[in-house]
Structure 1
Amino acid sequence: MSSPSHSKNWLLAAVCLAALGMPLSFTGPAVVLPAIRDALGGSPVQLNWVTNAFMLSFGATLMAAGALADAYGRKRVFLLGLAVVALSSSLLTLAPGIVVFDLARGLQGLGSAAAFAAGTAALAQVFDGAARTRAFSLIGTSFGVGLSCGAILSGWLAESFGWQSVMLSPGAISLAALCIAAPSVRESRNPDAMGLDMPGTVTFTGALSLLTLGALQAPDSGWGSPRVIAALAGAVLMGAAFIAIERRVAHPMLDLSLLRFPRFVGVQLLAAAPAYGFVVLLVLLPIRFIGLEGRSALEAGSFMFALSGPILVVPTLAASLAHRFSAGVISAVGLLVCAAGLFWLSRCAPGTPLHVIVWPLLLIGAGIGLPWGLMDGLAVSVVPRERAGMASGIFNTVRVAGEGIALALVGAGLTALVMLQLGRLPAHPGVMSKAAQRVTTGDLSQALALLPGVDRAALLQAYGAAFGTLLCVLAGVTVLTALVVFVFLRGEAHVEAGAVALESSAC
């Protein structure tokens, strides 16, 4: 039997591996979405669920998975999550159609939530003080490496071995983590854990699911259709029920009293900012580069590395600045830099060469990297110490769930903008909605087939104008977020948050 020190080191290695694989589950399918469409078919709505099914199930069940891990065993839930990720990765390559593929993506999100929540909870029990800070910094570094290199690795795998290899890569990493953790990690649980807040979990998951469903269905059915209105109304009702439940139960999944801390609210806004200023581009840009501009998966991965690569190095700068400036100042400046990059990118038409487009991509990545390096430390430093665990769970849920919601809303917005641009072309009004959906999912050939009087150049020009308008809107929202975050988080320098960022970047 392994010693306690060896056991916790093996646990750290397993959790870091799991953290490395999770971004691949998000970025990889975006790179190979055109290949998935060619192999499995599917409507634009079904293709949008390729990414959103994972993000929805991951974000909606993260807090519930943490509660299950505390009650039934952190090692058990961690291993189960890893096994589900490995199994679902295999199912993705065997799916006979897009619907089964989307269901497997949802299963993969459930497994990722279980592995992440249980793994981090287990680490928090075996590491203390500075050792805990270093451990969580290593997890952050592993996640950053996966995020930064995921697109280019997926591009290489797709061109060398096919899109199936991209789907298998997170499962292979999870299987390696399982093999490390199963024989060497000790079980732990919280004997005082109250178990799963089932009413809260059901209403929270229902609210997110209905909101995502409504946003994804709107481009196809129209925002005024009964189906979309029913989904959005159901989301509001579920959200209201969730708030009512959490205010009354003795041990809530979400402690709403934390919202009384203004700095805590500011951190939640900061957690949501990368969703629409950075994360949505990890999905939209590969579709543009590969599906519409006709670039190879590997070339698109190189473009995406310019966007995500700064996440690996900029937190070092954030850490050094955190000893002299407040988190509000650093985060606001970073978001403003990101907004400038978004506006610059909006000026880049489809087909812009790499040596031109790389600069706005780098600016976006560098800007978002400043708050990215401070967020995890801030999540627990802006509330009383005894509330740190709940605050961290809420922060991660807001971050992941916000990414899924932002992706659904931004995708719907892009489709609406493309449809608006197509209205200026000699096209039949009855097919513009379907053509716009095909364009936003990268299916240029089907869009051209629906628009016989429109050539490729005109269609790309319409898409470029719509994409540019979308980026300007995202830049404006990012500027507004920067101002609000500055107001909520201004004050003294956050040395603790800076130390987390410094150790993360140094690992």
Structure 2
Amino acid sequence: MTQTEPHSGKWLVLAAVCLAGIMMPLSFTAPGIAIPAISRDLGGSALALTWVVNGFILAFGSAVMAAGALADRFGRKRMFRNGIAAFGLLSLAQVFAPDLPSLIALRALQGVAAATAMAGGSASLAHAFDGKARTQAYSLLGTSFGVGLAFGPVWAGFLIEQFGWRAIFATSVLISVVVLAVGVPRMHESRDPGAKGVDVWGTVTFTGMLLLLTLGIMEGPQIGWTSPLVIGLLLGALALLAAFIQVERTHPRSMLDLSLFRNRRFLGAQALPFGTAFSFVVPLIILPIRFIGIEGYDPVRAGTMMIPLSAPMLVVPFLGALLTRWVSAAALCLTGFAISALALLWLALVPPGAPTGDFIWPLLLTGIGAGLPWGLMDDLAISVVPRERAGMATGFFATVRVAGESLSLAIVGAVLVGALQAGLATQLHGQPPLVPLANALAAADLPQAQALWPGVAHAQWLAIYGQAFQVMTLALAAMTALFGAVAYLTLRRAHAPQALAMPQPAVAQGNAGE
């Protein structure tokens, strides 16, 4: 936007992007609440059902960097508009999904649409705002994600209880229509006048690398870490990573500027989404499964139990951005991750069957800790690049964020399944089917576990699950602390996000009706 553009126009752009920002986490977290209901309706193994969540995350993470480059070339408004339209249509198709494979395929396509929308929308904010206003805009975007995260599980539980799991996807249809009708027509177009072509091979090699790595981590506990398939998947991921780096070094207009990795602040910003993935996103997905299957809560109560974890995202990201006036971004991030790590250690001590109140404070403190870096991440990542390449920076950071969430879910899932296999081997006599039993317990499907190995008391199943869940939660705490330390060491010279801004060249733009 130009300097003469009305002030209200900027905030209309922000409102449209933030409304989409509410919709995305809703479509991300709601299936976690819905998986037991989806299983009853469409069937499928515990491992297959995980792809209802993983398919969306992987597709988003694989496509968002290319979407950012396309937004720079073809226009941020255009990509945002097309992404929202596709997202709404795919949400409508999910309402009528006939079987589990169809639902998973639609979820993957929806992840691509979400990547297109958010890359275009977030880059539009970098174009519309500068300095402190940009910090506030991104903190409000983080808060809008918090709204979706805070109310998504409760809303999903209510819809599932009243109308069935398909109703959760109808919500995204309605929000998409509102954004297209009210927000998009008031947005102004912007693009990078120097953008050329699309980095096809970069997209292909990165997507393949992320897919093979995630599959390798997920298959490790299933068939053994030394199996030829798992080793082949991990080596294939490594080879594709090397190919991706080579492509980006030689492409005339690569979707990722590798010179950014010489910037410590940029590297530190990439550590932040990994920390929030382990401290916040993974518990947000896994805990509802425990609450429904192990604690015996109904979907509404399970969704309500997630409020202490997610509600801080309504206010803490914005408060964190305000605190950068007096406290460095590095110190705020370190403090937040330290709080989350300690809270996760506390959560690890809560056994299955514990009173509801025992979960409240650990979850609340985890959410508060994760909220501090949450509102700073986007601006820290984008402020180190010229504005005309904001789409590239937005796309890469969103890729790191979602790839971090995808990989963290795969890693933590592997830790949980591995711990369950160890506990089953120790506590059950005979030769129980360890892998199917561990998969059933990881999905908190106690009836399935009982059917696979009858004669085990309910209390013993809970004890096995509780010990494995404790191991998993300790791993979450350790990874949260690790990435918090990395972020602090690389960001500690950055006193506030607005101080990181570089001189911004002018950007070509179209008219508001484009």
Distance between the aligned counterparts of 2:44 and 2:165, measured in 1?
16
Counterpart amino acid of 1:65?
Answer: A
Determine if contact 2:138/2:375 at 8 Å carries over to the other structure: no
For residues 394 and 327 of structure 1, do their structure 2 counterparts lie closer, same or farther at Cα, with a shift above 3 Å needed? Answer: same
Equivalent position to 2:493, from 491, 494, 504 = 491
Amino acid at match of 1:174: S
> Which residue in the other structure is 1:197 paired with?
199
Cα drift, residue 316 of structure 1: 4.8
SS of residue in 2 equivalent to 1:352: coil
* Residue in structure 2 matched with residue 47 of structure 1 by the alignment: 49
Determine the structure 1 residue equivalent to 2:104. 102
Secondary structure, in 3 states, of the residue corresponding to 1:250?
A: coil
In structure 2, how many angstroms separate the alpha carbons of the residues matched to 1:337 and 1:183?
42
Aligned pair count? 497
The C-alpha deviation readout for 1:400-440, integer Å capped at 9, x for no partner, is 11101111111111111111111122354351110110111
Aligned to 1:144: 146
Match of 1:166 in 2: 168
**TM-score, structure 1 as length reference:** 0.91
Partner of 1:416: 418
Is residue 266–residue 384 contact of structure 2 (8 Å, CA) maintained in 1?
Answer: yes
307, 327, 346: which is aligned to 1:344?
346
Among 36, 42, 60, the residue aligned to 2:62: 60
How do residues 395-414 of structure 1 correspond to structure 2 at under 5 angstroms?
395-414=397-416
Which residue matches 2:309? 307
Report if the CA contact (8 A) 1:45-1:217 is conserved: no
- Going from structure 1 to structure 2, the CA distance change for 1:492 and 1:35 (only over 3 Å counts) comes to closer
Which region of structure 1 is more displaced relative to structure 2, 219-228 or 463-472? 219-228
What residue number does 2:461 align with?
A: 459
Matched residue SS, 1:423: helix
Matched position secondary structure for 2:476: helix
Mean Cα deviation higher: 184-193 or 210-219: 184-193
What's the secondary structure of 2:484's corresponding residue? helix
Evaluate the alpha carbon distance shift between residue 497 and residue 366 of structure 1 in structure 2; reply closer, same or farther with a 3 A threshold: farther
* Equivalent position SS for 2:375: helix
**Closer/same/farther in 2, CA of residues 337 and 176 from structure 1, 3 Å limit:** same
Equivalent residue for 2:476, pick from 454, 474, 477: 474
Matches for 1:267-306 after TM superposition, within 5 Å: 267-306=269-308
User: Distance between the aligned counterparts of 2:376 and 2:37, measured in 1?
Assistant: 37
Report deviation, 1:320.
4.8
Question: Aligned Cα RMSD in Å?
Answer: 2.4
Contact (CA 8 Å) 2:384, 2:500: kept in 1 or not?
no
**Deviation per CA, 1:308-362, whole angstroms, max 9, x where unpaired?**
1112222354345423332222211211111100100000011222212101111
Distance 1:269 1:364, change over 3 A: same
Cα offset, 1:182, TM superposition = 5.5
1:170-319 equivalences in 2 (<5 Å): 170-181=172-183, 183-319=185-321
On the 8 A contact 1:426/1:453 being kept in 2, the answer is no
Structure 2 unmatched runs, 5+: 502-514
Equivalent residues of 1:322, 1:498 under 8 A apart: no
Q: Which residue of structure 2 lines up, in the alignment, with residue 69 of structure 1?
A: 71
Does structure 1 conserve the Cα–Cα contact (< 8 Å) formed by 2:440 and 2:446? yes
**How far does the alpha carbon of each residue in 1:244-298 deviate from its partner, in whole angstroms, 9 at most, with x for none?**
1111222221111111112221221122111112111111101100122210111
- The whole-number CA distance in structure 2 between the counterparts of 1:49 and 1:252 is 30
- Indicate the SS of the match to 2:50: helix
- AA matched with 2:358: V
Equivalent-residue separation in structure 2 for 1:384 and 1:77 (angstroms): 20
Render the CA deviation track for 1:357-389: whole Å, top value 9, x for unaligned: 101111111111122232223223456777765
Match of 1:373 in 2: 375
Rounded to whole Å, the distance in 2 between the matches of 1:384 and 1:15 is: 21
Distance 1:447 1:280 in 2: 23
CA drift at 1:395: 2.1
Counterpart amino acid of 1:490? R
In structure 2, C-alpha distance between the alignment counterparts of 1:337 and 1:166, rounded to whole Å: 32
Measure the CA separation in 2 of the matches of 1:123 and 1:147.
21
CA deviation after TM superposition for structure 1 residue 8, in Å: 5.5
Mean CA deviation greater in 48-57 or 350-359: 350-359
Please state which structure has a larger fraction of its residues in helix. Answer: 1
What is the rounded CA distance, in whole Å, between the counterparts of 1:334 and 1:121 in structure 2? 26
- Aligned ranges 1:431-442 → 2 under 5 Å: 431-442=433-444
Deviation string, structure 1 residues 77-121 (Cα, Å, up to 9, x no partner):
222211221122122232222111111110110110111112223
Deviates more, 1:380-389 or 1:251-260: 380-389
Identical residues among aligned pairs (%): 49
Task: Give, in whole Å, the separation in 1 of the partners of 2:178 and 2:409.
Answer: 30
Q: Aligned partners of 2:330 and 2:431: how far apart in 1? A: 48
Which moves more between the two structures, 248-257 or 21-30?
248-257
Are the structure 2 counterparts of residues 228 and 133 from structure 1 closer, same or farther at C-alpha, using a change threshold of 3 Å?
A: same
The residue number in structure 1 matching 2:18 is: 16
SS at match of 1:96: coil
Moved more, 249-258 or 371-380: 371-380
8 Å CA contact 1:79–1:181 kept in 2: the answer is: no
Q: TM-score, normalised by structure 2?
A: 0.90
Change (3 A) 1:52 1:452: same
CA deviation after TM superposition for structure 1 residue 187, in Å: 4.5
Q: Is 1:292–1:444's contact at 8 Å kept on the other side of the alignment?
A: yes
Whole-angstrom distance in 2 between the partners of 1:200 and 1:303: 42
Distance in 2 separating the partners of 1:488 and 1:122: 27
Where does residue 113 of structure 1 map in the other structure? 115
- Letter aligned with residue 210 of structure 2: L
List gaps (5 residues or longer) in structure 1: 500-507
Equivalent position SS for 1:194: coil
Decide whether the 8 Å contact of 1:322 with 1:497 is kept in 2: no
